[in-house]
Amino acid sequence: MDQIVFFTDILLPALQKGLIITLQLILLAAPFGFVLGVGVAVGRQYGGPVTRVLCKVLVYFVKGCPLLLLLFILYFGLPSIGIVFSAFTASVIGFILCNGAYNSEYIRGAMLSVKDGQMIAAQALGMTRLQAVRTIVLPQAIRRALPGLSNEWIYLIKYSSLAYMITVIELSGSGKLVATKYFTYTETFVAVGVVYLFLVTLTTLAVNAIEKKYAVPGMIRG
């Protein structure tokens, strides 16, 4: 088969379909993973005893459980107790849990870098603890955590390839199906790698722009 025909008529359409699924996975998981990370970080740092324990258990479980195993549990394991998710939904939930747990560690570390005196001053001015966290601590912490959070967003792009293991035909899965059918492993996987490289580069540039725009004054080097 002519290489140009293979790329234009077979490979590119297949990768385009897979890329759409990959982008859906990422765009659904990233914002909810960020929100979960913020919630868990605040819960561990400022929550009550029960909240702190629950947040710690979630983080320790997700950090100690390989993501692929977590996807297997969600898709293959939970139906045995009557909880059934589609492959796509199970993938999104797994990515949210993984992304959220690691995001929470970056955000919690950034929270610890905010001086305690700011919280004391806010409460002395009549703010509640929640108001002080929401308006003073979190804005600073999220800015400081951006470099770490950007790593997790990049990892999420690459994590998405694991969805194929539970039958979601995303970018890597589409490439593997084409490579297996036409025995064009090198060409196909190089093309898949180029697409992932493009996604990671685009994300890196976007995050760098966000970091510069929202950097804490005096904390960014030229």
pLDDT tens per residue across span 168-178? 999 999 999 99
Taking the C-alpha atoms of residue 90 and residue 70, their distance in angstroms, rounded to an integer, is 9
Q: What is the CA radius of gyration of the chain?
A: 21
pLDDT tens per residue across span 10-50? 999 999 999 999 999 999 999 999 999 999 999 998 889 99
Taking the C-alpha atoms of residue 161 and residue 156, their distance in angstroms, rounded to an integer, is 9
Taking the C-alpha atoms of residue 89 and residue 163, their distance in angstroms, rounded to an integer, is 10
Q: Count of CB atoms within 10 A of residue 116's CB?
A: 8
Taking the C-alpha atoms of residue 197 and residue 181, their distance in angstroms, rounded to an integer, is 24
Torsion-angle region of 170 (φ positive above 0: left; ψ -120 to 50: alpha; else: beta): beta
Average pLDDT, stretch 82-101? Answer: 96
pTM score:
0.91
Taking the C-alpha atoms of residue 187 and residue 193, their distance in angstroms, rounded to an integer, is 10
Question: Looking up tokens 């990233």, which residue turns up?
Answer: 30
| Percent of the chain topping pLDDT 70 | 96
pLDDT tens per residue across span 131-183? 888 888 898 888 889 888 888 999 999 999 999 999 999 999 999 999 998 89
At the topology level of CATH, where does 3-214 sit?
MetI-like fold (1.10.3720)
Cα 93 to Cα 43, 57, 73, 221: the distances in Å are 20, 17, 11, 37
